[in-house]
Each structure stands twice: as structure tokens, then as C-alpha cells.
Amino acid sequence: MILKRKKSRYIFYDVVDKDYFFDEAFRLEYGYDSSTEHDEIDAKTVDQEALYKDIYNNFGFIVEANVNRKPLINMQKQFNKKYYKRFN
């Protein structure tokens, strides 16, 4: 069986031998079921809410760490310090 390759940004390997492929906006494109000899899974038949919840349970700490993190340098403050006189 020849599997057609599609351009994907993110891949999630489930513990039940299912692989899910997402685009850059993290929308589910398609999936493969490795337990049944790589049969392609239709994205419409997948419970996407449960899938996203499972991904968030496994990797949510990474998202929260990056969302709630303050930048090391305040770029606006540095810009104002350097170019203040040009604009006022």
C-alpha cells in the first residue's frame, strides 16, 4: 500500500497506535491507524474535542509556560529610550 504524503506541521502519536497530522493552524488534517495496517482515518470521524483534550493533558504545561512568560527584554522600552526625541 502506498501512502500519500501530505505537508503537515504537527504530528501526534497516540498510545493506541493512531497518528494524527495537523496543519500550521493546528486543525486536524488526517490520521493513520497503525494497528490496522496503516488505514487512513477520516478527520470527520475523529472526536476532535477528546483528541485536543488528550493533547492538552499531555502537553498543556508547555503551552501555559510560554503564554504566561514575560519577555526578558521590554522592546518597547528600549525603542522609546533610543528614538524618543525623533517622535516628540
> Residue 11's domain spans which residues?
7-46
Q: Same structural domain for residues 52 and 40?
A: no
Quick check: is 62 in a domain? yes
Tell whether 2 is covered by a domain: no
Dig out the grid coordinates for 69 from the structure. 512568560
Asked whether residue 77 is domain-assigned, the answer is: yes
Is 75 found in the same domain as 62? yes
Residues contacting 23, CB < 8 A, separation 6+: 8, 9, 10, 29
Q: For the segment 14-41, what is each residue's pLDDT rounded down to a tens digit?
A: 888 888 888 888 888 888 888 877 678 8
Q: Is residue 88 part of a domain?
A: no
Work out the burial of residue 51: count CB atoms within 10 Å of its CB; fewer than 13 is exposed, 13-18 middle, 19 or more buried.
middle
- The pLDDT tens digits of the residues spanning 33-63 come to 888 776 788 888 888 899 889 988 988 888 7
What per-residue confidence (pLDDT) applies to 72? 79
Q: What three-state secondary structure class fits 62?
A: helix
Does 52 lie in the same domain as 74? yes
